């Protein structure tokens, strides 16, 4: 049974879109996912499911609609794909917490970086279904404008590495 990592969009530690990870775990178990584990309070959940990736994302998004009154957006990646995302990470000199992987629901358009405005020296590179962005001054201070990121959700490279490690552990049993 495949191991998946789901990354929820617009789920925060506080505010209106707050979702305790214990509740997220219960939601996942309630829709039939197994070996469910969460990682940090930002909408990261790992699990096994016999369903295809697209169906897994749909099931979780619909279940979360019941909680939030709207579908927050769920990006799902398989364990091997997550490993590849880590391996392909550009900007080798960037601090891992200053390199964000913006996960997208589908492949980025060919012109994804054309409208980028990077006043603080940000650099970006398009991956398969993600855009990597190096924020030399940190993402919190950034004034980057990149419309292609709006439909996705981001995690720093440290978090992505940890999720890949956790997924491998689940797969190994």
pLDDT digits (tens, 9 = 90+) for 77-125: 999 999 999 999 999 999 999 999 999 999 999 999 999 999 999 999 9
Unique residue bearing structure tokens 């959940």: 45
Evaluate whether residue 64 is within a structural domain.
yes
Evaluate whether residue 173 is within a structural domain.
no
Evaluate whether residue 168 is within a structural domain.
no
100 and 124 share one domain:
yes
72 and 96 share one domain:
no
Residue 12 lies in domain: 3-81
- Give every residue of the chain whose pLDDT is below 50, as ranges: 13
- For residue 154, give both structure tokens: 């981001």
The DSSP element (H or E) to which 8 belongs, if any, is strand 3-8
Evaluate whether residue 170 is within a structural domain.
no
pTM above 0.85, yes or no: yes
9 and 77 share one domain:
yes
The CA distances from residue 171 to 54, 79, 96, 161, in Å, are: 20, 8, 25, 15
| Distance from C-alpha of 96 to C-alpha of 152, rounded to nearest angstrom | 19
Burial class of residue 89 (count of CB atoms within 10 Å of its CB; 0-12, 13-18, 19+): buried
């Amino acid at each position: 049974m495949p191991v998946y990592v789901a990354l929820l969009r617009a789920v925060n530690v506080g505010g209106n879109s707050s979702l305790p990870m214990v509740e997220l775990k219960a939601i996942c178990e309630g829709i039939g996912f197994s070996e469910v584990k969460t990682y940090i309070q930002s909408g990261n959940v790992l699990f096994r499911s016999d369903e295809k990736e697209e169906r897994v994302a749909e099931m979780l998004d619909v279940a979360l609609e019941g909680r939030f009154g709207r579908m927050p957006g769920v990006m799902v990646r398989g364990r091997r794909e997550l490993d590849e995302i880590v391996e392909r990470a550009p900007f080798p000199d960037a601090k891992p917490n200053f390199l964000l992987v913006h996960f997208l629901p589908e492949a980025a358009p060919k012109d994804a970086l054309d409208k980028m405005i990077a006043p603080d020296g940000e650099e970006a590179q398009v991956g398969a279904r993600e855009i990597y962005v190096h924020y030399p001054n940190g993402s919190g201070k950034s004034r980057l404008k990149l419309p292609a990121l709006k439909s996705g959700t981001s995690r720093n490279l440290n978090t992505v590495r940890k999720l890949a490690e956790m997924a491998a552990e689940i797969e190994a049993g």
